[in-house]
């Protein structure tokens, strides 16, 4: 089986989407199959294009590229909008999958509501492209795909209810976690370090994180916050915090897998007050690391976690609830251990081996059945 994955994200070791397909490529190769990965980086001329036009131009470039290589592959998996032009051809070149790593219409709705709340309405050009044109193109593309993959049950419900695809063609898949993140943790009686993993962006709930840490830091003078994978300068991240707690914030803008596993091992509690997610790989890594978790019920979190059983779930945009949940864990060592052990047990269902075997099964089924 020869598969092509067309991504609209960079070919970068810091891109979670690219990492997922690199791992799948190794899995398929070990079983005698091939997976080639195509990204915007493979077309140097696209670098001169403003990012806002990528959803319109990149699919045209990909379609032309595929026309010249139609006999090279058996199946193509398009990352969201990357395949709208190829899929909308009267006669498609290949069987195809459309895979979402965060469903764009849901992200747009969240962004629209947030900017309206802040009194900073989105520009008309942005609303026209991302709120009107692009969803229609992707929807048509999904209807021509043999399978539509998404990361959580909320996205699957949206795709079915809004008729983006035949309900039977919608498949929920997940990210996978490697064995090095499964840590045989010894739970300390006192908490010294909270850990946040994610880009330093508003949609990750950083405003709530800053406020919650300011609140609980006053009562726990030895407590530190470790912010990992921010892709932002440490001084910029620390400047988000009040002056009195900045010295207690450690920032690691970029880390490799080995460094990240070590930071999880040294942490005591994981916190992710995100506003929007598809499937947070960091959340799954924290579960594997047997960390007690405080997060919001968005994306795949409701599929993975149950409040009070293997995590503490708090409402989005509620720094008081976030601070209260963290304070509860700081004071209750038994609760931390119970939640951490239950989270790790759940994470065993999402090892790389299991997740990639599921994806291999989906690919095999697409090739086995007539085209949509």
Does the pLDDT of residue 372 top 70, yes or no?
Answer: no
Asked if 322 and 196 touch (Cβ cutoff 8 Å), the reply is no
**CATH code of residue 137:** 3.40.50.2000
Considering the domain architecture, whether residues 130 and 217 belong to the same structural domain is answered as no
Smallest Cα–Cα separation from 339: which of 286, 303, 300, 302? 286
pLDDT at 369: 77
- Between 261-265, 347-351, 365-369, the lowest mean confidence (pLDDT) is in 365-369
The pTM score is 0.91
Give the count of domains, the chain. 2
pLDDT in the model for residue 118: 81
Task: Give the Cα separation of 50 and 230 in Å (integer).
Answer: 24
Q: Are residues 25 and 147 in the same domain?
A: yes
pLDDT at res. 120 = 87
Cβ-in-10-Å burial (0-12, 13-18, 19+) of 324 comes to middle
Q: Print the domain residue range for 273.
A: 179-349
Residues 23, 122, single domain; the answer is: yes
Listed residue (140, 173, 144, 143) closest to 156, CA to CA: 173
212 and 357 share one domain: no
Is residue 370 scored above 80 in pLDDT? no
């Amino acid at each position: 089986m020869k598969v092509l994955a067309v991504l609209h994200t960079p070919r970068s070791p810091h891109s979670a989407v690219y990492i997922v397909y690199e791992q799948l490529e190794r899995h398929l190769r070990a079983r005698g199959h091939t997976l080639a990965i195509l990204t915007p980086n493979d077309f140097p001329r696209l670098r001169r294009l403003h990012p806002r036009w990528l959803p319109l131009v990149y699919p045209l470039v990909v379609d032309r590229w595929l026309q010249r290589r139609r006999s090279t592959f058996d199946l193509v998996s398009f990352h969201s909008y990357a395949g709208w032009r190829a899929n909308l051809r009267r006669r498609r070149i290949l069987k195809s999958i459309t895979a979402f790593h965060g469903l764009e219409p849901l992200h747009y709705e969240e962004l629209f509501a947030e900017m309206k709340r802040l009194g900073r309405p989105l520009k008309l050009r942005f609303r026209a492209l991302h709120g009107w044109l692009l969803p229609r193109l992707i929807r048509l593309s999904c209807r021509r795909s043999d399978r539509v993959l998404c990361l959580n049950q909320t996205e699957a419900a949206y795709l079915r209810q809004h008729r983006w695809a035949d309900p039977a063609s919608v498949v929920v898949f997940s990210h996978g976690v490697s064995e090095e993140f499964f840590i045989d943790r010894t739970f300390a009686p006192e908490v010294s370090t909270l850990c946040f993993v994610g880009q330093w962006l508003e949609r990750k709930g950083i405003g709530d994180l800053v406020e919650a840490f300011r609140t609980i830091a006053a009562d726990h003078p030895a407590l530190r916050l470790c912010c990992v994978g921010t892709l932002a300068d440490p001084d910029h991240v620390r400047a988000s915090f009040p002056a009195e707690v900045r010295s207690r914030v450690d920032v690691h803008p970029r880390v490799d897998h080995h460094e990240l596993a070590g930071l999880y091992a040294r942490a005591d509690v994981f916190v992710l007050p995100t506003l929007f997610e598809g499937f947070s790989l960091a959340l799954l890594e924290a579960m594997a690391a047997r960390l007690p978790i405080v997060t919001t019920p968005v994306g795949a979190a409701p599929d993975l976690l149950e409040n009070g059983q293997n995590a503490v779930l708090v409402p989005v945009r509620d720094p008081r609830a976030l601070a209260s949940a963290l304070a509860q864990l700081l004071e209750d060592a038994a609760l931390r251990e119970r939640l951490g052990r239950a989270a790790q047990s759940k994470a065993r269902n999402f090892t790389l081996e299991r997740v990639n075997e599921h994806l291999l099964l989906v690919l095999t089924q697409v090739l086995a059945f007539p085209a949509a």
